[in-house]
Amino acid sequence: MALLTSFDFVVVGAGVAGLRAAIELSEHGSVLCLAKRELTESNTQYAQGGIAVALAADDSPELHLADTLAAGAGLVNAEAARVLVTEGPERVRELLGWGARFDRSGHGDLAFTREGAHSRNRVLHANGDSTGREIGRTLYAHASTIKAIELRAFGFARDLLLSGDRVAGIEVLHEDGSTEHIRARAVLLASGGMGMVYANTTNPDVATADGPAMALRAGAELADMEFLQFHPTALYLPKAPRFLLSEAMRGEGAQLRNDRGERFMLGCHPLAELAPRDIVARAIHHELEISTAAEPMVYLDLTHLPAEHLKSRFPRIYQTCLKYGLDLTRQPLPTRPAAHYAMGGVRTDLDGRATLPGLYAAGEAACTGVHGGNRLASNSLLEGLVFGARAAKAMLAEKPLGGHAAPPSAAYGNGDACALRREVQELMESNAGIVRDAARLTTAIDRLRQIQAELPAPTDRLRAEARNIAACGLAIACSALARRESRGGHYRSDFPERDDSAFQQHSVLGPKGLRFE
């Protein structure tokens, strides 16, 4: 028997989107804000580069909008992007008011830096390369002072509770295997990214696509699942997590070399290492495929740059590399592309409303269309703040609901969840990664369908996560197979061109199958 509890609102996730939403909701009722591991373990904590916001004197929301639209490969929802850039400044000022310490110039003014595809210096950063950690610290410190918010670590949301066709709460699976049914007027999925669907990812272990998978099982729609950003440069060491080697390192002059020592980007693009992310990622992928070395490798080389500057510009990256025995001032860093950011997710309107009543989503778990087919660097932290707050405001209108509520029913197999989870990740890496084609996607889809039938009942967190990874892997592969063109984060070697006449549309996956609209 599940323990029964209730709150006015449940927020699944304690990253930037979840915490911002919880703060807003707390003015109007009781809020449970869950993290499935420690409260500090989220994609937000690992965000290095910064948060984009039009606050500099020579900048404007209009310019930020133009850059966001240009980056999105023809698929940005312009209304959502306008909301992002116009409400962003207010949300960031609010964060400053709550004590966020962004880096400042010698005169005490906010220091804005520039990142790829931004036409102005508009990216705020903290402690050099620890922006997400500072934003998370600020929101957490503020939320902790609010009595109406219960911040709960190790609270794993396994499924949504349904009452008819309405979401009425969540089912939490405790570490000891017991369950709790938590009723709420509305549920917000702010569960972050889905990097763990792939074998190589910059995301932490918690990014197992739980939100979109739960939403899909309950009958909500997902959108744009085929669009993933693969970061070109993640540290690649056998026993280390794929730690992100920031784009800013290439901005400072880092060079990419193949295992023959050649600087291959010079022949690929006029901007060489500073070419757009998807081009650099594909070039690295190509070098790895054509290498004849026993273990193909590509290196990010900073050894020609001043050591002291590197240590102060990238303190966290420098220390992390040292931890794994690499001194980046003296040794080239082994690197590979890794799944980094999901443009797709739970389909929502501009107020975070999903297609199922009572359900909302915000942050990386959601798809408002704000990033289109490709995210403009540093727009995602801002998205979490802006759409977290908006979703919370919309949730206030939901009324309490009585009656019976239960998770969606499902059938299970008796396979080994750990082995199947690993297989999904390898399958996605080889068949639905940076370079895709119909044959490889079909192989992935066929096997993923079998795996779904083999997965055992989700009686512990790892089993439940395996189910979510497989479900979202299948959603990505099916959407990628249907999009017979290349655009933004989706590249098909059998359809290498963009095809606006057929595919300037969003993919939508729901209970009735897949469609474009």
Ligand X SMILES: Cc1cc2nc3c(=O)[nH]c(=O)nc-3n(C[C@H](O)[C@H](O)[C@H](O)COP(=O)(O)OP(=O)(O)OC[C@H]3O[C@@H](n4cnc5c(N)ncnc54)[C@H](O)[C@@H]3O)c2cc1C
Nearer to ligand X, 153 or 418 (CB): 153
* Residue 325: how many other CB atoms lie within 10 Å: 9
Sheet holding 179-183, edge to edge: 3-6, 179-183, 166-173, 156-163
Residue 223 touching ligand X (CB under 6 A): no
Count of residues in contact with ligand X, rule CB under 6 A: 44
Tokens 């098909």 map to which residue?
Answer: 492
Rounded to 10 degrees, the C-alpha dihedral 347/349/352/354 comes to -50
Out of 244, 328, 391, 508, the only residue in the binding site for ligand X (CB under 6 A) is: 244
Find the shortest distance in angstroms from Cβ 232 to ligand X. 13
In angstroms, the CA 472 to CA 475 distance is 5
Out of 10, 16, 428, 435, the only residue in the binding site for ligand X (CB under 6 A) is: 16
Question: Which range touches ligand X (CB under 6 A), out of 9-17, 75-83, 438-446, 450-458?
Answer: 9-17
Residue 15 touching ligand X (CB under 6 A): yes
Out of 206, 298, 317, 424, the only residue in the binding site for ligand X (CB under 6 A) is: 206
Q: Which helix (H) or strand (E) holds 85?
A: helix 78-97
End-to-end CA distance of the chain: 43
Catalytic residue among 122, 250, 277, 467: 277
Find the shortest distance in angstroms from Cβ 478 to ligand X. 22
Out of 332, 363, 369, 488, the only residue in the binding site for ligand X (CB under 6 A) is: 363
Nearer to ligand X, 34 or 298 (CB): 34
Out of 378, 431, 452, 486, the only residue in the binding site for ligand X (CB under 6 A) is: 378
Secondary structure (H, E, C), 225-261: CCCEEEEEEEECCCCCCCCECCHHHHHCCCEEEECCC
- Whether 449 is catalytic is no
Residue 37 touching ligand X (CB under 6 A): yes
Find the shortest distance in angstroms from Cβ 172 to ligand X. 8
Those residues whose C-beta lies under 8 Å from the C-beta of residue 192, and which sit 6 or more positions away, are 13, 15, 17, 42, 43, 44, 203, 206, 207, 211, 363, 364, 365
CA separation, residue 460 to residues 173, 205, 275 (Å): 7, 15, 43
Find the shortest distance in angstroms from Cβ 211 to ligand X. 6
Residue 299 identity: Y
Find the shortest distance in angstroms from Cβ 366 to ligand X. 8
Residue 47 touching ligand X (CB under 6 A): yes
Task: Please list every residue from 148 through 187 that binds ligand X, using CB under 6 A.
Answer: 155-157
In angstroms, the CA 225 to CA 481 distance is 11
Residue 364 touching ligand X (CB under 6 A): yes
Residue 132 touching ligand X (CB under 6 A): yes
| Secondary structure class of 280 (helix, strand, coil) | helix
In angstroms, the CA 320 to CA 473 distance is 30
Find the shortest distance in angstroms from Cβ 414 to ligand X. 23
Those residues whose C-beta lies under 8 Å from the C-beta of residue 113, and which sit 6 or more positions away, are 50, 121, 123, 125, 248
- Please give the radius of gyration of the chain, using alpha carbons only, rounded to the nearest integer: 22
Residue 345 touching ligand X (CB under 6 A): no
Task: Please list every residue from 414 through 453 that binds ligand X, using CB under 6 A.
Answer: none
Nearer to ligand X, 17 or 444 (CB): 17
In angstroms, the CA 451 to CA 461 distance is 18
Out of 8, 9, 18, 100, the only residue in the binding site for ligand X (CB under 6 A) is: 18
Question: Which range touches ligand X (CB under 6 A), out of 159-167, 202-210, 317-325, 449-457?
Answer: 202-210
Out of 10, 22, 44, 326, the only residue in the binding site for ligand X (CB under 6 A) is: 44
Out of 14, 85, 245, 249, the only residue in the binding site for ligand X (CB under 6 A) is: 14
Residue 507 touching ligand X (CB under 6 A): no
Find the shortest distance in angstroms from Cβ 51 to ligand X. 6
Find the shortest distance in angstroms from Cβ 320 to ligand X. 11
Find the shortest distance in angstroms from Cβ 375 to ligand X. 8
Out of 26, 31, 43, 230, the only residue in the binding site for ligand X (CB under 6 A) is: 43
Q: Which helix (H) or strand (E) holds 382?
A: helix 379-395
Q: Which is it for the CA torsion 41, 398, 23, 153, positive or negative?
A: negative
Each residue 322-341 as x (binds ligand X by CB under 6 A) or -, in order, gives -------------------x
Token output for 460: 């512990």
| Secondary structure class of 350 (helix, strand, coil) | coil
Largest CA distance in the chain: 67
Interface with ligand X (CB under 6 A): 12-18, 34-37, 41-44, 46-51, 131-132, 155-157, 190-193, 202-203, 206, 210, 244, 341, 363-365, 378-381, 384
Residues assigned a catalytic role:
277
